[in-house]
Chains A and B, each alone.
Chain A
Amino acid sequence: MEIGTRASEEAINPSVSVSKKRNKTFFTKLKSQKVLLAMSLPFLIWLFIFKYIPLWGWSIAFQDFKPARSIMDQEWIGMEHFKFLFTDENFWRVLRNTIGMSSINLVLGFVTAIGLALLINEIRHLRFKKSIQTISYMPHFISWVVAASIVSYSLSLENGIINIVLVNLGIVDEPILWLGKEKWFWVINGLAEVWKNVGWNTIIYLAAITMIDPEQYEAADIDGASRLQRIRHITLPSLKPTIIILIIMNLGYVLESGFEAQYLLGNPMNLSYSENLDIYVLKYGMAMGNFSIATAAGIFKTVVSFIFLFSANHIAKKFDQPRLF
């Protein structure tokens, strides 16, 4: 009520300071959007309860945490757990693998998803288009446990389709034990990820493509643009904002290279390249009941994500590109 009176007071008196003016517009806006605000309130509360309050748990990283002991009885040991992480050779190895795999996933994921979206968009035959879409979504709904079995079976020595094709085409002389080649693991993992998710990832691009004004295509048609030229000069530039926003958001996930695929496809022979941060946390944190280490690694991940997200956003801003905020 107070806000209301002040606003009306200001409306009568035109000689108000700039800050007051800003205030005024802010509060009038607030008032006029009160229904919207009320609608977003539950989500703010949700965000606070589920995303901010749990941050309290970060304190575990600085304790020698023992479950079922009250916070007063916990022993505070400062940065010990971070020291453990950063002095462990294995930690840097799994970090390398994590970043390696997520970079490959990022690049491959974007290129293939955009490529497939463009191709699907160009298909004229509607039923064919729909069935292609459905088929390409399908693997996304298979759980990794099943998908990993399919992958490892296709790559197996004797009955694996990949080896059969390669041998019969004369590309390799004898079957290759793909999952035993440690240096190939990142690629195998990247390709498996593409096979599983490419169809799903096209959805957002296909949606963005439908937003493009058809008049642009008509105009290009009249100017005699070929199909490829239309893709290059109309579709891709129109997708640019979507692509950039998605890249920025995904850079925030650079330390999330997935868990199931690596865990299920990993074996003693490719261990040094397949193990990632999440598996490391599982082994040295969860499995040992050492929740402090797990939390410390989680904090590390968050900080890195934060840095990546903000730098990418900052760069986008510098180059005057669309950005998150």
Chain B
Amino acid sequence: MIKKSLSVLLMVMMLITIVGCTKDDSTSGKSSDGDSKDKVTFTYFNAASPGKDLNTNETKIGKIFEDQTGVNFKTEYLVGDINTKIGTMIASGKYPDVLVPDIAIDKILDAGAFIDLTELIEEHAPNIKKLYGPHWEQMKDKDGKINFIPFAAKQGFIKDPNITQGAFWIQRGVLKEAGYPKIKTLDEYLALIEDYQKKHPEMNGASTIGFTALTYDWRFFALSNVPNHLAGYPNDGEVIVDMKTHKTDVYADNDVTKRYFKELNELNSKGLFDKEAFVANYDEYLAKIASGRVLGFFDYGWQVQQSLDNLKVAGNDDLRYMPLPITFDGQKDQYIDPPAFINNRGVGITVSAKDPVRIIKYFDNMVKEENQKLMFWGIKDETYSVDDKGKFYQTEEQFAKTSDEKYRDESGLNTFEYYWPMGDMLYSDGNAWVPGKQPEVAQVSYTDGDKAILKAYDAEVFSDLFADPDDRPWYPTWSAVIEQGSDAQIFGQRKTDLTKEFFPKLVLAKPGDFDKVWDQYIEEFNKLDAKALEDLMDKVVKDRIKAAEAK
């Protein structure tokens, strides 16, 4: 405690020296009432992403903000190593006025470089208070202070129109031939593939692959997570969290896992499972998907995006894939991530800031809905239009314009893209906070084939087929901090090793031997300390529920 106050004292002394040295170039004192609209320039440093160093008032959007508040920011982005840069700041005690420290945030907090924002927000920033209200408790540090403003305060919920998360993917040709059946269960899905492969054993001279899986290196979870999804749970890493008791359970040894691998085992005995699935590396896997020989697979959208894009460019819609929310028995799926508030990244005002009140007022002004729309959607009728029902949409030209880097730089769409106080999901008028989540915008990039298949399924965007996520305040448990070298972490590694060894055996065993291999696997599994991880996760879930209830 003494040490801490000593270092704070030191910090203050250094600050005084620095302020003393640089006094002449700062016109406004610390005790500004904040109401003045005098032109003033602050510094903003973003360590989270590369970008263009500029004055925000040189951009269209930044100019509007300057007219409203008189504040201009001189932005600077990280070049080189983040730890070196932040380390230098801490060592010198000289910070930009506003800082986005990204992964180095713990260092900044340890150094006490951010000022407490609680009072500033209470006094000067009613809009921030309103926007972040639901997350207020989650924003507080252990000592009750709010040291920085996290990004993306969730308002309501809207699904990403496209599937970037987990799904069972199926070749569109398969669906087309079967007359676009509505399928929900794993059995239906596999039966479709089986029929199709019987009729088309070869494609472009190579044998058709019924079902494949990604198993390479750390991406192995694309195989081991599947039972959890089939049982109707979101990607909570290694555990299933019970909705009622909130107890966590490592499911690698559960019936759901046994059931899934039994299915794969049968698939393999019928010759439908990709023989090379367990030896192919990531590139070989992507090449295989892009070749159009594979009828179905499970994966997370972001992992196969390249292949899906290549197929889209190639232009044969029958060879492209459709994501489906398959579950064991057709129970409600939870493939789409529940909204999660990320409270360990954000933007803060540093101890070097000359006039925190002006800054917080600027932030408060920018989180007003009309200004947020400016930041994310751009300028009305230039980068988006509004239909007679008040829905925002983009024409193809507008879509192209907002994808053009040069325009994005000049307008400020890049500068204000993310790393400022901001909301997410839905505006009060029902439009999506960011254009990417607005169905009307997603549709602009859809091909005729996309539109046709969506019509066949009575959907507007791909995520329409998927269920809305239930409320899970603990989601995602995989983001929990696990202490390095702890029992829980060692269990995680050993479990991965064990499943990597046994899952191929389970799939490739003769159907008669399956139960024998499973018993062997369980015997080995029981030697591991699953409780270490479950106990930790129980605590994480409990804490997160508590934080969510406190709001």
Contacts and interface: CB of A to CB of B under 8 A. Distances in A.
Interface in A245-259: none
Interface string B482-493: 001100011001
Contact of A180 (B278, B485, B503): B278
A136 interface: no
22 contacts: A90-B497, A156-B276, A158-B206, A177-B276, A179-B279, A180-B504, A267-B215, A267-B216, A268-B215, A268-B500, A268-B503, A269-B504, A270-B279, A271-B497, A271-B500, A272-B501, A284-B493, A287-B493, A288-B485, A288-B490, A289-B484, A293-B485
Nearest to A88: B494
Interface of A: 90, 152, 156-158, 177, 179-180, 264, 267-272, 283-284, 287-290, 292-293
A288 B279 contact: no
B251 interface: no
A4 to B, nearest CB: 54
Contacts of B489: 288
Interface string B84-121: 00000000000000000000000000000000000000
A97 B195 CA distance: 43
Residue from the set A267, A284, A292, A293 with the largest chain B CB neighbour count within 10 Å: A267
B278 A157 contact: no
Interface of B: 206-207, 215-216, 220, 275-276, 278-281, 284, 484-485, 489-490, 493-494, 497, 500-501, 503-504, 508
Given A152-B279, A180-B279, A268-B278, A288 B493 contact: yes
A269 B216 CA distance: 11
Given A90-B497, A288-B490, 7 more contacts: A177-B279, A180-B279, A267-B281, A268-B215, A271-B497, A284-B493, A290-B484
Given A152-B279, A288-B489, A268 B484 contact: no
A290 B206 CA distance: 47
A157 B504 contact: no
Contact of B276 (A157, A270, A288): A157
A157 B500 contact: no
A320 B485 CA distance: 50
Residue from the set A152, A156, A158, A268 with the largest chain B CB neighbour count within 10 Å: A268
Contacts, number: 57
B485 A289 contact: yes
Contacts of A283: 493, 497
B281 A152 contact: yes
Contacts of A269: 278-279, 504, 508
A157 B281 contact: no
Contacts of A158: 206-207
B493 to A, nearest CB: 6
Contacts of B500: 268, 271
A288 B491 CA distance: 11
B526 to A, nearest CB: 14
A290 B276 CA distance: 34
A10 B288 CA distance: 85
A271 B501 contact: yes
Q: What are the 3 tightest A-B residue pairs by CB atom distance, in nearest-first order? A: A289-B484, A290-B485, A268-B500
Nearest to A64: B485
A90 B279 CA distance: 21
Given A177-B275, A283-B493, A288 B484 contact: yes
A156 B283 CA distance: 14
Contact of A284 (B281, B490, B508): B490
Given A152-B279, A288-B485, A90 B215 contact: no
A255 to B, nearest CB: 20
Nearest to B281: A152
Contacts of A152: 279, 281, 284
A90 B489 CA distance: 16
A269 B284 CA distance: 16
A271 B350 CA distance: 50
Given A157-B275, A283-B493, A288-B489, A268 B501 contact: yes
Nearest to B207: A158
A90 B496 CA distance: 13
Contacts of B215: 267-268
